[in-house]
Amino acid sequence: MKSRKPILAGNWKMNLGPAEAGLYFQQLETLLSNDPTRSLDSERVIFPPAYNLGSEIQWVAGKCQVQLGAQNIHWESTGAFTAELSAKALKDLGLNWALVGHSERRQLFGETNQTAGKRLLKGLSSGLRVLFCMGETLGERESGRMETVWAEQLTSYVEALAKHVASDQANDFSSRHAPVAYEPVWAIGTGKTATTEQAEEAHRWIRNWLSEKLGATFAEALPVLYGGSVTPDNAAALLKQPNIDGVLVGGASLKPESFAKILLA
């Protein structure tokens, strides 16, 4: 029996505007309320585009017990950083979640381990829970560099956490404030999910590696989510794996019907 409460999350990327978002949560609420097996033994989070993070959409999402989070945050609170989002302002807006280090940010917008780590630190010190994304490309997997890449990515995570814990903003910090999302790049948006064995193996490796760096208590309580072509058909099998504590869903989170099935998986 896993003691870690699952986190079921959707990343809308640059999809669905405010009108569509409002409708989405109305439909999701209907779909969830019609299902007698519904249970709230998981946490639900959607990361929509920033224009959907205001209080009205927070309110309709809240009716489905869904929290909203930002897809990225900057490492400074304010300043001349055109198009970036302030973690502190998001917190003031009533939000509790952000995502950092997504592979699309890394591959298309020059995000590095260093910047992902800085964003993580700022999010935590601003009182947000931050989902830290990592994962290898196909080339890195096939050339046998996968574990080196994971270790490099997780080093920036560990360094950010060490700075956070040493600061005076860390009062009630626990691993649930900084879950990890393992998203192999070759499985994102490709329809090619990692097998349950591949995903479980990666998650076990991540937990063991973090246990060595941050201690077993931290690692045992840490939610590690899987992302990459998760659908209503494969979600349940992934979630049954001992080290998979949730999912981060892209394409299949865009339709209330399919996301509802995943929430009920």
127 torsion bin: left (phi>0), alpha (psi -120 to 50), beta (else): left
Q: Give the burial class of 252: count Cβ atoms within 10 A of its Cβ; 0-12 exposed, 13-18 middle, 19 or more buried.
A: buried
Positions 25 through 84 that interact with ligand 13P (CB under 6 A) = none
229 binds ligand 13P per the rule CB under 6 A: yes
In 3-state terms, what secondary structure has residue 133?
strand
User: Does 223 help bind ligand 13P (rule: CB under 6 A)?
Assistant: no
CA triple 45-49-50, angle to 5 deg: 100
H helix intervals, the chain: 18-33, 55-62, 87-92, 103-108, 113-125, 138-142, 146-166, 196-214, 216-221, 235-240, 256-263
Tell me if 215 contacts ligand 13P by CB under 6 A.
no
Active site residue 183: yes
Q: Applying CB under 6 A, does 183 fall inside the site for ligand 13P?
A: yes
Catalytic residue among 29, 74, 102, 164: 102
Q: Closest CB to ligand 13P among 103 and 125?
A: 103
Among 250, 256, 261, 262, binds ligand 13P (CB under 6 A): 250
* Phi, psi dihedral angles at 46 (to 5 degrees): -120, 135
Closest separation in Å from C-beta 30 to ligand 13P? 23
Name the residue whose CB lies closest to ligand 13P.
Answer: 250
Options 6, 8, 11, 123; binder of ligand 13P; rule CB under 6 A: 11
**102 catalytic residue (yes or no):** yes
Q: Among 6, 48, 117, 228, which residue sits at the site for ligand 13P (rule: CB under 6 A)? A: 228
Name the one range near ligand 13P by CB under 6 A: 54-62, 72-80, 172-180, 182-190: 182-190
Contact status: 230 vs ligand 13P (CB under 6 A): yes
Which residue number, 25 or 132, has a Cβ lying nearer to ligand 13P? 132
Tell me how far apart the alpha carbons of residues 252 and 256 are, in angstroms, rounded to a whole number: 9
Instruction: Give the residue from 243, 205, 199 showing the smallest Cα distance to 222.
Output: 243
Pick from 74, 73, 72, 88: nearest CA to 13? 72
Asked if 180 is part of the footprint of ligand 13P (rule: CB under 6 A), the reply reads no
Binding residues for ligand 13P, rule: CB under 6 A, are 11, 102, 183, 188-189, 227-230, 248-252
Q: Which residues are catalytic?
A: 102, 183
